[in-house]
Structure 1
């Protein structure tokens, strides 16, 4: 009996390290598995969050400026306007307005431009409703002693092509979207009555008293991406499904100290 006990003890002592090592390895394996599962869960959560952000885009609340320009214009041109064939001092032939405007040449700039009259709205007179998917580009030129001499101005899309009323937001006069350039407050406000979006982006508009401001818009079904001066300002759902869309641009509601805004180089493609 005693010899058996001694042997048992010896056997235990011989195999104890292996048992201990096996238990240690088992615990270590469990820890590794838990860590891997946690890492995978984090990656999946990040992917889900990234996907959600991609779908929602820059939309609600206060949005940062994205220093990115990934706009790609579509190549099937459906409308182009540079006013080259229009007579100076006249309202351009393919446009309509509640108050009118004049074709002019701007010193230091190439080509001809439509000078926007204060508190006037402008519409394309010869274009049917825009397609479901399209891109649009145009340019604004500002001239003023100070940027806040230029009152707030808007552009966007509405459900009809009437030039009877001045559109100042996305919620009246049959408007759908509104992008407001607020030179005095140095911000850009985007809103939509279709998707209940309202977002405010701080933008250094005080630096745009004598500038050319390129604007690019991409619309794909219900979603719209907006770029101001090659910076992404908006990327989110702005339209209800199947909504008719007509472009409008509303001139500044007022000018001070002989300020002016000019509009031109319009390109729409599908």
Structure 2
């Protein structure tokens, strides 16, 4: 049954029979037959059928929830047994919001020193994408915001509080200031992340609270693009200090705290809420808690 449930999860991810079959490395008739067999076994219609995928029936949505749990538990069981035989090894997939990417190395590096048989895939994703990827078993963990927007059924390990700085040329307006207000930030030509990013939604809300309607002159889903424009001296941006410090700003660019108010949002590790958890995730949670203590000591 596990393989049929995996067919169902692939269909939920891809929303297309052909692409789901390709992801499972089977033919489309094989995938369709597997799902039909599952429907016969359950005695209900799972997929709304036509020439194209149209979604799941209400019964199908409930079966999909169980499929995620069962497939996740099956993978956890296999990893648990493998860890007993060979120690912790395998592949860890972590999705990270763009503003937290500089923090990842402080988690993965000591983790791999303790578990050299582990390899990593790190993805840059929005906070919403991270929750979807976790739900669909496409990643093992995420680094994301822990407040501001609902997380659902997950376990969290807070790591640090994200604050916000204005990055601007020292010769630009406010470039010689020790702090600026959100209202002043709104007067500058800004390059910001795209609206699907929670960081952008936070900044938009702060500007609106200050009476400014956000109208950035450039948007991108890449922090590298934003910083490269700030380096020209013609643009400004709003980024967390952890990101500003990691990119090595030139002397011509100032990183200025934004006040009135001094806003913070919690960022941390997110993992599926499952007991027992996989040995890999359990080790990752332990490493995150150790990192949280280090970051607290550095404050």
Q: Same fold (TM over 0.5)?
A: no
- Pick the structure with greater CA Rg: 1
Higher relative contact order by CA 8 Å / sep ≥ 6: 1 or 2?
Answer: 1
Greater strand share, 1 or 2? 1
TM-score interval w.r.t. the shorter chain? under 0.3
With normalisation by structure 1, the TM-score equals 0.21
Structure with the larger helix share? 2
